[in-house]
Amino acid sequence: MVQKDPEGNETKRLHTFVDFTGRRVLEIGCGDGRLTWQYARKALSVTAIDLEAQDLRLATIDRPSDLAGTTRFVRADSIHLPFVKEKFDLAVLAWSL
């Protein structure tokens, strides 16, 4: 079984680069939410998108109950984002470019 980044290098670096506190976050390429859970509690809201329905299902199942009101998973393509302009303060391209 694979173990990814047990040292937490990615999370540490992400929080060094940006403060999520109170931000409206768009995550592109969220997959099963592996990265989402590392910052979602700090954000004001999180909209996490991916094209893979199975991954989004897993993310929704894994979503802690206290994040249900602020973190949502949406099946969407980054080429046509189904959101109005200027909706987000912070966007994360999560291994998706």
Stretch of residues binding other proteins (CB under 8 A), selected from 51-59, 61-69, 78-86: 78-86
Q: How far is CA 57 from CA 7, 15, 16, 51, in A?
A: 27, 26, 30, 11
With beta carbons less than 8 A apart as the criterion, state whether 26 and 47 touch. Answer: yes
Residue 30 burial (CB count, 10 A): 26
Closest approach of Cβ 45 to other proteins, in Å?
A: 13
96 lies in the binding site for other proteins (CB under 8 A): yes
**Interface map 8-47 toward other proteins (x if CB under 8 A):** -xx--xx--xx-----x-x-x------x------------
Q: Find the shortest distance in angstroms from Cβ 11 to other proteins.
A: 11
Instruction: Give the three-class secondary structure for 57.
Output: helix
